[in-house]
Structure 1
């Protein structure tokens, strides 16, 4: 065997011995609901039309530890027989058919096992269970963290460990889990790029887009903080999909969710 062949063999062997970055991705049921009037998310279209919504969380097993994206509707809603009704009837009435705690337990994952977590933004259907993980590092945009809540209340407990981002973030430094800054829905909204060894690249939308037709028609919800930023963020996601031949998983889109494998099944 030549020296070059030996070198090539060594390189291949080294690559095979290295653990992949992301090993598995689980989609967790973090809420199911009915949106009263989806023209709220697509102004001028679908007036008065209701739609079933879902709310996903994503648990990712990385070689360096567990990572959770979004925490969904608060588990306490599971005990509400009629669900959690919104103040605005056009918005979403949420139910919690499975708790986040029970789904983690089914996988043998304790809250203390999480190495890191992030939320797409700070609306209640995405941060409902953040404090189930009081010691887990939370990645959130500085603009989101400092965005005043109701009555200027803080959006997170001040003692919760946090890394305040100002833009994109490669969580584990290997390009396999990357936060994309996609503002517009809220001041510090972010989406997530996950590179799976077999499935390929997936972009988790957060609420950069709410359902398929909303994406296709570039509909900007009336309650978004910036239409201009929203459209720019949608374009950024579209460019990522094209460049990386990635899939877009739209967080609240039930029709799409129903085609995907739910935990305890997983994507690798």
Structure 2
């Protein structure tokens, strides 16, 4: 029997060959970016994310996914809370009361359907990291090549379980990755929150450059003060990743879109509207 990573590589190679064949056109660049509602919730105590600050204070969180239309195909960034949570009237309560109780007002599947996008249309995808609020719907897209840092893929889950199905096609990364080879969309290695956390730089023709944070930072106040959540695996890596993002924001004159920041998300256009 093939080892788990070898099998995943073999499947990814087959899937990517089809993706590459589709991508041989002369067209380049990102055409549209859709902001999708992938969960809403309330954190019991946000000092979990900002140690020593905001003790006992609650905060509304959002969970965001992004669907990107590139000239060479559809790409999905993060998959949010599992769609099954939409059927839970009281939401999904965490084991830690300080953490977030999540609700799913709209399923990812329904939002894609509204846009006329079938799961099979999404040939490639990536997750910022493997916490449950970001990988909840990965297997809605069993044929999509998953871009993930090798350090994240190899990070043992609960009871040493793999974090993804071994059969899911995956391309394992060791650092930054220019996804389409045209500079329009670059996966950025930003470890610290988890061993293989990553963020995404997207260059839109009219909106300009945007960095999708993943959980390199959770809300604007933490970004402004460079605060490191207590659950992060490496404080120094987190600080270095925030500096890397800050340098890219300056170089590219980019906006930082913070995944869980409700105030920012509420100011954005949500699907079916889009950014171009």
Q: Is the pair's TM-score, using the shorter chain for normalization, greater than 0.5?
A: yes
Q: Which string of whole-angstrom CA distances, capped at 9 and with x for unpartnered residues, describes residues 188-220 of structure 1?
A: 000000000000000000000000000001110
Determine the structure 2 residue equivalent to 1:263. Answer: 271
Q: Answer yes or no: is 1:198 the counterpart of 2:206.
A: yes
Secondary structure in structure 1 of the residue aligned to 2:38? strand
Runs of 5+ in structure 1 lacking a partner? 1-17
Q: Does residue 1:112 correspond to 2:106, yes or no?
A: no
CA contact (8 A) 2:123 2:143 kept: no
Indicate the residue corresponding to 1:247 in structure 2: 255
Q: How does 1:37-76 map to 2 (within 5 A)?
A: 37-76=45-84
Gaps of 5+ in 2: 1-25
Aligned equivalents of 2:252 and 2:143: distance in 1?
34
Alignment partners' CA distance in 2, 1:112 and 1:266: 21
1:138 corresponds to which of 143, 146, 160: 146
- The ranges of structure 1 where at least 4 consecutive aligned residues each deviate by more than 3 angstroms after the TM superposition are none
Write the distance in 2 (CA, Å) between the matches of 1:126 and 1:167. Answer: 20
Rounded to whole Å, the distance in 2 between the matches of 1:45 and 1:62 is 41
State the Cα RMSD in Å: 0.6
Aligned length: 251
- Deviation at 1:68? 0.1
TM score, norm. by length of structure 1: 0.93
Q: Which of residues 88, 92, 96 is equivalent to 1:84?
A: 92
- Per-residue CA distance 1:70-108 (angstroms, 9 max, x = gap): 000000000000000000000000000000000000000
Q: Tell me the residue number matched to 1:189.
A: 197
User: Counterpart of 1:103 in 2: which secondary structure?
Assistant: helix
1:115 to partner: Cα distance: 1.8
